[in-house]
Each structure stands twice: as C-alpha cells, then as structure tokens.
C-alpha cells in the first residue's frame, strides 16, 4: 500500500471512529456516566489525529522519479538559489540530464527564498595526492514560480 493510499484509509477510519466516539461521549454526558471525562480526552485525541492525518494527506506530494535518473546525494544547499549534488566517479554521462531533472523536480517552493534555484551535478577528480577538483557535469535552473525546469543554456539565451 502506497503512502497516499495509507493516509486516505487512515483518514477514513479516524473520521468514523471520531464520529462514534463523539456520539458515545454525548450519550455518556446525558446519562452521567463516570467515564465521560475520559471519553472527552479520547475523542479529542482522535479528532486531533484525524485533523493531522487529513492535513498531511492534502499537503503530501510524492517525490518525482525520472526514468534513467540515478540517486545522488545533495552535498550543498544554501536554501536560497543553489543546490549541488555529488556524482560518483563511475557516473554514466547518459544519466546526467535525467538525474538533474529529477533533482530539480524534487525542489519545492516552501524551502527557498528565491524564485530560481540553480541545480548542479558535480564529480570530484583527483589532481594530485590528497587534492581534488570539482568538475561540473551539468546544471539546470528550477523556476519555482512557474514550476518548470530550464536548461542553463536556455535561461542564459532568454535573459
């Protein structure tokens, strides 16, 4: 079962149990049952779980997966306009474009101050003993206002 399906199912169960607990609490107050205040706590907690589960279900967006992309770790993110990912030494050239698109597609507006984020993929190459130099394999720009990914050449021609 996927996460969106699980959240949807849990929200339904919590809604029905919240309704049942609310009715039980109301009946407990009408008949002055000794457990009525405990039912208030259980009902409140159940409704809090329902609200949280519903809010998570509304806001959840699964990560973008692009065919041919490889998973690479993000090694730098300044939360403004630059994200850098580290490719391993044996990273294939044909996976660069798909990997950049996947990295850029998983950047969402909420965490960034600017409207454009540069996404770079780099590899470290040894230039001497204990010394390495970063080599940029590719770069794209994620426009968070329009929710699109632009190749770097296209952006520099347009601007």
Q: What would the pLDDT profile of 84-108 be if each residue is shown by its tens digit?
A: 999 998 999 999 999 999 999 888 8
Look at residue 115 and give its three-state secondary structure.
coil
pLDDT band at 20 (very low <50, low <70, confident <90, very high): very high
Is residue 55 located within the same domain as residue 78? no
Structure tokens at 153: 């050449």
> Domain of 14?
3-59
Longest dimension (CA), the chain: 83
Candidate from 35-44, 56-65, 148-157 with smallest mean pLDDT? 148-157
| DSSP bridge pairs for 143 | 116, 148
Q: How many domains does the chain have?
A: 2
Same domain? For 120 and 145 the reply is yes
Residues near 3 by beta carbon (within 8 Å), at least 6 away in sequence? 60, 62
Residue with tokens 């609200």: 51
């Amino acid at each position: 079962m996927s996460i969106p399906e699980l959240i949807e199912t849990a929200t339904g169960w919590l809604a029905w149990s919240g309704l049942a607990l609310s009715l039980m609490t109301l009946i407990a107050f009408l008949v002055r049952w000794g457990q009525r205040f405990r039912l208030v706590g259980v009902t409140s907690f159940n409704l809090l779980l329902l609200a949280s589960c519903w809010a998570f279900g509304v806001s959840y967006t699964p990560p973008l997966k692009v065919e041919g992309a490889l998973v690479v770790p993000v090694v730098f993110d300044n939360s403004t306009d630059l994200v850098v990912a580290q490719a391993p030494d044996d990273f294939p050239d044909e996976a660069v474009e798909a990997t950049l698109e996947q990295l850029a597609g998983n950047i969402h507006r909420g965490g960034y101050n600017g409207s454009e984020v540069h996404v770079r993929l780099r590899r470290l190459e040894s230039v001497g003993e204990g010394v390495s130099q970063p080599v940029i394999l590719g770069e794209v720009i994620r426009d968070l206002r329009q929710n699109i990914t632009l190749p770097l050449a296209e952006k520099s021609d347009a601007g």
